[in-house]
Amino acid sequence: MSFGTRLAKAVAERGPLCVGIDPHPGLLADWGLPADASGLERFALTCVEAFAGQVSLVKPQSAFFEAYGSKGVAVLERVVGSLRDADTLVLVDAKRGDIGSTMAAYAAAYLAEGAPLAGDAVTVSPFLGFGSLDPAIEAARANGRGVFVLARTSNPEGSTVQHAVLPDGRTVAQSIVDSAAAANAGAEPLGDVGLVIGATLAELDVDLSALNGPVLAPGFGAQGAGVADLRRLFGAELRGVLPSSSRDVLRHGPDVAALRAAALRVRDEVA
C-alpha cells in the first residue's frame, strides 16, 4: 500500500493533526528531566505512550536526538519502531539533502525496508536541485513510504532563496511545487511526495492546485497559526493539509494523560 493511501486512511480515521516530538533542552527542564540521554529517552517514550494510536502522524525531530550522539540515535530508533508497532505513521524530521551516492545513502537510512531509522516518511531538502532527490523518491515508492519536501518555509531567511526567480519566470518555491506535482501525477487518493509549507506565512505565494499530495504545515499552535490561518492559506476544505503542532502539546507533559488530552484537543480543533 502506498504512503499516500495509508496517510489518507489514517487521516480519515484520526484527523489530520501531526504531533511533533521535539526534546528541546528547555522542555526537558520543564518536565524535570536531565538534559542527557536518559532524560531524552524518558521524554520521547512518554510521548510515544501518549500519542500512539491517537493521531494520524507523529514527527520526531531528528536533530534533538542526534545531539546526544549514538545513545540519542538509539532512542530515535526505538521511538520510530514503537510508533510503527502501534500502527501510527511516523515522519522522521531529518531534512536531508545531497547529491548522488550520498543522497542514495540517506534514502537507504530513512526509507529502505528494515533500516532502523526508517519511519513512514522523511523530510528532505531540494535546494541542491529537485532532481537530487530522485534516490529518495525512488526509494520511497519502492518501499511504500513518502517524502516531504521543503518548499515554502516561514523563516524570514527562506524567502531569499525561495522567492528567487528562475529564467522561466517561476520562483524557486513554485518550481519545487511543480516538480512535486509532476511526481504525484495520477496517484490516488494522494501522491507520496508531500511539501512543507509554513502555516504562519502572511500569504500563500505558490499555486498548489496541481499538487495531488499532502502538505505538512508546521507552526500551528505555539508559533501562532490557528485554524483561521490554515483556511486562509490553503482554502476551506484543507484537503491533504497536515497541521503540525509540537510545543503547544508538549508543554502539557510529563503526565501521559495530560499530553494525550492536549493532543486530542488540538486534533479535534483541526478536524
Rounded to whole angstroms, how far apart are CA atoms 269 and 271? 6
SS3 content of the chain, % helix, strand, coil (to 5): 45, 15, 35
Q: Is the pLDDT of residue 15 over 90?
A: yes
Q: Categorize the per-residue pLDDT at 236 as very low, low, confident or very high, splitting at 50, 70 and 90.
A: confident
- Give tens-digit pLDDT for 17-31: 999 999 999 999 999
- The per-residue pLDDT of the chain, averaged, comes to 96
Cell numbers at 68, concatenated: 546526544
Strand partners, 197: 152
Rounded to whole angstroms, how far apart are CA atoms 119 and 257? 25
229 Cβ neighbours under 8 A, 6+ residues apart: 199, 200
Cell numbers at 86, concatenated: 502501534
Residues listed for the chain: 271
**Cβ(61)–Cβ(20) below 8 Å:** yes
Rounded to whole angstroms, how far apart are CA atoms 161 and 150? 12
Strand bridging mode 18-21 / 215-218: unpaired
Residue 258 has a pLDDT of 98
Q: Categorize the per-residue pLDDT at 225 as very low, low, confident or very high, splitting at 50, 70 and 90.
A: confident
- Give tens-digit pLDDT for 169-208: 999 999 999 999 999 999 999 999 999 999 999 999 999 9
**Cβ(186)–Cβ(197) below 8 Å:** no
Rounded to whole angstroms, how far apart are CA atoms 36 and 13? 36
The terminus-to-terminus CA distance of the chain in angstroms comes to 24
Rounded to whole angstroms, how far apart are CA atoms 11 and 254? 26
194 Cβ neighbours under 8 A, 6+ residues apart: 121, 146, 147, 148, 149, 180, 213, 214, 215, 216, 240, 242
Q: Categorize the per-residue pLDDT at 75 as very low, low, confident or very high, splitting at 50, 70 and 90.
A: very high
Region 106-125 average pLDDT: 98
**Cβ(116)–Cβ(70) below 8 Å:** no
Using CA atoms in the order 86, 2, 137, 217, what is the torsion angle rounded to 10 degrees? -60
165 sits in which H/E element: none
Residue 271 has a pLDDT of 84
3-270 maps to which CATH number?
3.20.20.70
Q: Is the pLDDT of residue 237 over 80?
A: no
Q: Alpha carbon of 209 to those of 55, 147, 148, 177, 181: distances in Å?
A: 26, 19, 17, 10, 9
Q: Which residues are known to be catalytic?
A: 95
- Give tens-digit pLDDT for 27-65: 999 999 999 999 999 999 999 999 999 999 999 999 999
